[in-house]
Structure 1
Amino acid sequence: MKKQILIIFCFIFSLFSCRSPKKEISQTKFLMDTICEIKIYCDDENYGQEIIDKVFKKIEKVDKQFGYTSESEITKINLAAGKNKVKVSSSTFELISKSIEVSELTNGAFDITTGVLSELWGFENFSKKTSFVVPKEEKIKKSLSLVGYDKILLDRNNQVVFLKKPMMKINLGGIAKGYALKVAKEMLEEYNIKKFLLNFGGDIYVRNNLDKKPWRVAVQHPRDKQRYICVLDLFNTSIATSGDYERYFFYEGKRYHHIFDPHTGYPANNGIISVSVVIDDPVMADAISTAMFVLGEKEAISLAKKLNAEYIIVKEENNKIKVITSQKIKKYISEKYF
């Protein structure tokens, strides 16, 4: 679900050093309906490739678990909506539980039950779509009756999930990539990889305990793919961006994107066109960037302060770009274009 953050790498090696630098090994795959990249540094290239292969195999399982295939636990939950409780794995249960916690924290701005809206508006399997229309008002209102995280029942003792109403759908697109990042980062840490970058469709986690060189992450300008808003120097943290510029369509001259306001049934429309969040937990970064996009400037900033998250909010006002940042994130900005 989301955005594209571009990565800029700047590695400067001394010409006079006689030490062999660690080898850079990278690989990309198309998973979770987006491009996923893993880049690591280690001594042996073959060993490094083996590690990356193992991580990607795990992420493939995550994709199947939370996607829309017949074997997905999310598909099984959705098919049983209003009928039966579904026993799920501990990881699925915990991620749904975490999603509900974020919903409560954000007064419903983040809500995984907007799956029915994604389907109605044509954003499911977006990469395969060729045409779009704005749904009729009555259909949107009907779909809204199926939206609401309070309609998800969890039974922790039996590890089961139940959706109260038939035709309800949950969609973990706003948090699953963050979860996948967490899984991948923990695996790489277990393999003692001290320097790596994970970029799963613009949700990013970077680590560097190897040298003093930061990873340089460029935040995309939401209205010009050839430009950046800024470049951040980051070491051991995550950054996620939610924006209206990756999955959208125009209808009668108006832009409609994939980030829905669960209270209206329409794409969020408060002037915000991009939100980037920097926080250590990649799961929270993913979910909170979505919530802040929906909340609007004032409430978004209040939420970020509550969570000690740093942010870059981009708004469009009268066809002009306005950028609002947290105070602390300014120390990470190495290049500024606003």
Structure 2
Amino acid sequence: MLQGLSITKQENDGAYCGSFFAMASSCEVLVECSEALCATQIIEAVFTEAKRIESKFSRYLKTNIVYKINHSAGKPVCLDDETCHLVDFAYLCHQLSDGLFDITSGVLAQVWSFDGSDNIPDRAQIDKLLPLIGLHKVTWQAPYLTLPKGMALDFGGIGKEYAVDCCLAKAVDIAATVPVLLNFGGDLICNGSRQNGSGWTIGIESVVGVKPIVLSLKKGALATSGDVNRYLLQKGIRYSHILNPLTGYSVIDAPRSITVAAESCIEAGLLSTLAMLQGAQADPFLAQQSVDFWIQK
């Protein structure tokens, strides 16, 4: 057994469940398979891939490509193909969102800490960091990236969703017809219906006082963005952990929770985050995207 991974068989339906912690989230792999060896191979492959991606793109480690980029002191860094792919995607997201999605905005964590308190940073603290934000300030000509001194990249906005998609691909490579569901901290994907033809039953964490949302997922992905657990509260105003990189300030008029269904988890995650950044216009924004979505206010 791989360290940090737990595998059990569910008595109610015979599915195998793998549990572990990665990317600051509780992760779960459900495999509907009668053969223990096959189920174990799938779960271990998912675990290994999740840990690989976490090790490679976490901003908290000092041995990976993100650390190398963020400590390059304005010098060009040559990126591998996978990192190039993520940077290209980040630039596309930045362009499509008119700058609202920005992987250089992680520096705002220096003044924002969403612990449920009333500790709101003042304007001067935020303004001091704004010059260090803006993907357009980064020089990118694959495979070379040049990050201005003092700036930093953070793939946290797409990293977990990217990992979910990659992990499902690993599972399918082993046994394409075995039903698999991945749930990484509320970001989910499955490769198809269960063996009896029904969908996977999914419960979305609900806002206090709101009836829980229960869905049946037969194929594709779900991703949820919101401030159910991460927020600040001051003078009756709730400040979401979703930050606008153009202003450096919290989006205070957004829904409490937005869940989006899409073909891939990275697409669902992007749309749910962009919808949160639209604030009060989240509903019409998602209605224009031709996707299924659920909003809790």
| Range of TM-score over shorter length | 0.7 to 0.9
Equivalent in the alignment of 1:325 = none
Q: Is 1:118 equivalent to 2:109 in the alignment?
A: yes
Work out the CA distance in 2 between the residues paired with 1:92 and 1:304: 32
Q: Is 1:108 equivalent to 2:116 in the alignment?
A: no
Gaps spanning 5+ residues in structure 2: where?
A: 1-10
Cα pair distance change 1:249/1:299, threshold 3 Å: closer
Q: Is 1:247 equivalent to 2:233 in the alignment?
A: no
Cα pair distance change 1:100/1:132, threshold 3 Å: farther
Residue 41 of structure 1: CA displacement? Answer: 1.4
Work out the CA distance in 1 between the residues paired with 2:254 and 2:162: 28
Cα pair distance change 1:280/1:141, threshold 3 Å: same
Work out the CA distance in 1 between the residues paired with 2:139 and 2:95: 14
1:33 to 19, 24, 35: 24
Q: Counterpart of 2:262 in structure 1: which amino acid?
A: I
Decide whether the 8 Å contact of 2:286 with 2:293 is kept in 1. no
Q: Per-residue CA shift, 1:224-250, capped at 9, x if unaligned?
A: 5xx644211110110001001122244
Percent of residue pairs bearing the same amino acid type: 29
Residue 252 of structure 1: CA displacement? Answer: 5.7
Work out the CA distance in 1 between the residues paired with 2:254 and 2:25: 26
Gaps spanning 5+ residues in structure 1: where?
A: 1-10, 14-22, 124-128, 316-338
Decide whether the 8 Å contact of 1:177 with 1:286 is kept in 2. no
Q: Is 1:201 equivalent to 2:211 in the alignment?
A: no
Work out the CA distance in 1 between the residues paired with 2:117 and 2:152: 23
Work out the CA distance in 2 between the residues paired with 1:106 and 1:313: 20
Cα pair distance change 1:197/1:254, threshold 3 Å: same
Q: Per-residue CA shift, 1:118-139, capped at 9, x if unaligned?
A: 232136xxxxx89883222111
Work out the CA distance in 1 between the residues paired with 2:17 and 2:124: 48
Decide whether the 8 Å contact of 1:106 with 1:303 is kept in 2. no
Equivalent in the alignment of 1:154 = 140
Which protein has greater RCO, CA pairs closer than 8 Å, 6+ apart? 1
Decide whether the 8 Å contact of 2:275 with 2:286 is kept in 1. yes
Cα pair distance change 1:65/1:304, threshold 3 Å: farther
Decide whether the 8 Å contact of 1:218 with 1:228 is kept in 2. no
What is the DSSP-based 3-state SS (H/G/I as helix, E as strand, rest coil) of the residue aligned with 1:174?
helix
* Number of residue equivalences: 284
What is the DSSP-based 3-state SS (H/G/I as helix, E as strand, rest coil) of the residue aligned with 1:176?
helix
What is the DSSP-based 3-state SS (H/G/I as helix, E as strand, rest coil) of the residue aligned with 1:121?
coil
Q: Per-residue CA shift, 1:167-206, capped at 9, x if unaligned?
A: 2122211111110011111111111243111011111112
Work out the CA distance in 1 between the residues paired with 2:117 and 2:229: 16
Any residues of structure 2 matched to 1:1-338 within 5 Å, and which? 23-67=14-58, 68-81=60-73, 83-122=74-113, 133-156=119-142, 159-164=143-148, 166-193=149-176, 194-209=178-193, 210-223=195-208, 228-251=211-234, 254-298=237-281, 301-302=284-285, 305-306=288-289, 308-315=290-297
Residue 61 of structure 1: CA displacement? Answer: 0.8
Work out the CA distance in 1 between the residues paired with 2:38 and 2:118: 46
Q: Per-residue CA shift, 1:258-277, capped at 9, x if unaligned?
A: 21011221111224221111
Work out the CA distance in 2 between the residues paired with 1:168 and 1:218: 39
Residue 219 of structure 1: CA displacement? Answer: 2.0
Work out the CA distance in 1 between the residues paired with 2:227 and 2:258: 10
Decide whether the 8 Å contact of 1:66 with 1:74 is kept in 2. yes
Decide whether the 8 Å contact of 2:116 with 2:230 is kept in 1. no
Decide whether the 8 Å contact of 1:222 with 1:244 is kept in 2. no
What is the DSSP-based 3-state SS (H/G/I as helix, E as strand, rest coil) of the residue aligned with 1:145?
helix
Work out the CA distance in 2 between the residues paired with 1:222 and 1:109: 25
Work out the CA distance in 2 between the residues paired with 1:298 and 1:181: 28
The CA RMSD measured in Å over matched residues stands at 2.4
If the length of structure 1 is used for normalisation, what is the TM-score? 0.77
Q: Counterpart of 1:51 in structure 2: which amino acid?
A: I
Work out the CA distance in 2 between the residues paired with 1:237 and 1:170: 29
Decide whether the 8 Å contact of 1:154 with 1:161 is kept in 2. yes
Work out the CA distance in 2 between the residues paired with 1:111 and 1:175: 11
Decide whether the 8 Å contact of 1:197 with 1:206 is kept in 2. yes
Work out the CA distance in 2 between the residues paired with 1:304 and 1:161: 36
Q: Which stretch shifts more, 176-185 or 245-254?
A: 245-254
What is the DSSP-based 3-state SS (H/G/I as helix, E as strand, rest coil) of the residue aligned with 2:250?
coil
Work out the CA distance in 2 between the residues paired with 1:298 and 1:137: 25
Work out the CA distance in 2 between the residues paired with 1:228 and 1:25: 29
What is the DSSP-based 3-state SS (H/G/I as helix, E as strand, rest coil) of the residue aligned with 2:161?
helix
Decide whether the 8 Å contact of 1:243 with 1:273 is kept in 2. yes
Decide whether the 8 Å contact of 1:27 with 1:39 is kept in 2. yes
If the length of structure 2 is used for normalisation, what is the TM-score? 0.87
Work out the CA distance in 1 between the residues paired with 2:64 and 2:208: 35
